[in-house]
Amino acid sequence: MTFQQILDRYDLLEVEARIAAKQPADVEAALAADHPGLDDFMALLSPAAAAYLEPMAQRAHRLTVQRFGKTILMYAPLYLSNECTNGCRYCGFNARNEVPRRTLTLDEAEAEARVLHERGFRHLLLVTGEAPKAADTDYLAAVVARIRPLFSSLSIEVYPMEEAGYRQVIAAGIDGLTLYQETYDRALYAEMHPFGKKRDFAFRLSAPEHAARAGMRRIGIGALLGLGKFRVEAFCTGLHALHLARHYWRTHLTVSFPRMRPADGGFQPLNPVSDRDFVQLICALRLLLPDAGLVLSTRESAQLRDNLLPLGITQMSAGSCTSPGGYAEKDESGRQFIIDDDRTPAEVEAMLRSRGYDPVWKDWDNAFHGR
């Protein structure tokens, strides 16, 4: 059974209606459940649950501390390329946007990596657009071979691949995958992705399963908040996570909740997600998925990130730059989006310590890969 077959069973309009129909009693039952199920999850995502944010947050906090302790894994994105053949309407890398395009050479990639290593990072997320001629799996493997000795864990956020592609990058030393579906709503997906390989909804949807079969250790999923209705998108994300956990039980899952940021191209969110909604979504996901890593990037403001910290977050980026070459050259033209929390890693580390959290820089080892 693939996740696509699961998702096909759901009519998203009906899902939205079922969530909207949840009553306070349903929310209370969900909060009392030892292991909230899908129906409970709907209740936690419902408008009725907005009145229960505090108890939801309390429970999310308890579960997270129990499972992860008061620790936050630190990571940084390294943008290798912003060349892209896709037309995602919301993205600064959209092929039709006139921004400076570049793909880092191996030397340039290493220079960026060394800056991040110097700042303390040992977990990196390598990011590209989708332009096989500029940055294919051979290129990724070459970058990994170059920078692997400096880092404990290297993940990719690139383009969906077949199982063979994932096998190749895993063999090169990649241990994690981040791949957002953007939206689980097929019609909206088609509208948002007018051209390019990314138009293929089903291929993207199945890619986390390809990666899991290839032996990827960590898989991160998520929906881009601001596109579809957040309650429905969050429900589908939870469904997706449960499916992956059940079928690929050796894979550790992470969930992100990227909220749309201003980007070159000026796209406005179709369904803006308020801070209150955002908190509800994070807590609901934690209650459904007690063991999943929950990732919070610098898309959010410093103040909000500090306050979201105890609600279930387990991983954070810091000092991020979203343009290729931006760390070493301090040139931010050609960025994907504008970050909000612009504190340095050291400042974020100090904030974490002041709030009683231990920043974890290393939580993996090259020895796992036989290196």
Considering the rule CB under 8 A, would residue 370 count as an interface residue with another protein? Answer: yes
**CB under 8 A: which stretch of 163-171, 199-207, 231-239, 247-255 binds another protein?**
247-255
Considering the rule CB under 8 A, would residue 295 count as an interface residue with another protein? Answer: no
**CB under 8 A: which stretch of 38-46, 66-74, 123-131, 273-281 binds another protein?**
66-74
List the structure tokens of 6.
């699961």
Considering the rule CB under 8 A, would residue 34 count as an interface residue with another protein? Answer: no
Considering the rule CB under 8 A, would residue 363 count as an interface residue with another protein? Answer: yes
List the structure tokens of 303.
């103040």
Rounded distance, CA 369 to CA 354, Å? 35
CA 119 to chain centre: 22
Sole binder of another protein in the list 54, 66, 266, 330 (CB under 8 A): 66
CA 195 to chain centre: 23
- Pick 253 or 308: Cβ nearer another protein: 253
Query: In 3-state terms, what secondary structure has residue 116?
Result: helix
Of residues 213-242, those binding another protein (CB under 8 A) = 217
Binding marks (x or -) toward another protein, 126..155, rule CB under 8 A?
A: --------------------------x---
- Pick 266 or 356: Cβ nearer another protein: 356
Considering the rule CB under 8 A, would residue 354 count as an interface residue with another protein? Answer: no
- Classify each residue of 203-227 as buried b or exposed e, where b means 16 or more C-beta atoms within 10 Å of its C-beta: bbbbbbbbbbebebbbbbbbbbbbb
Considering the rule CB under 8 A, would residue 266 count as an interface residue with another protein? Answer: no
**Beta-strand (E) ranges in the chain?**
71-79, 123-127, 153-157, 176-178, 218-222, 252-256, 293-296, 315-317, 358-360
Considering the rule CB under 8 A, would residue 249 count as an interface residue with another protein? Answer: yes
Considering the rule CB under 8 A, would residue 368 count as an interface residue with another protein? Answer: yes
Rounded distance, CA 218 to CA 156, Å? 10
- Please report where in the chains the tokens 């050291």 appear, as a residue: 346
Considering the rule CB under 8 A, would residue 357 count as an interface residue with another protein? Answer: yes
Provide CB contacts within 8 A for 11, sequence distance 6+: none
Considering the rule CB under 8 A, would residue 75 count as an interface residue with another protein? Answer: no
**CB under 8 A: which stretch of 76-84, 233-241, 294-302, 360-368 binds another protein?**
360-368
Q: Measuring CA to CA, which residue among 84, 170, 87, 184 is closest to residue 128?
A: 84
Q: Taking the chain, what is the end-to-end CA distance rounded to the nearest angstrom?
A: 35
Q: How far is the CB of 237 from another protein (least distance, A)?
A: 17
HSE (CB half, 13 Å, CA atoms) of 130?
18
Q: Under the rule (CB under 8 A), what is the footprint of another protein? A: 65-71, 152, 217, 245, 249-253, 291, 353, 356-358, 360, 362-365, 367-368, 370
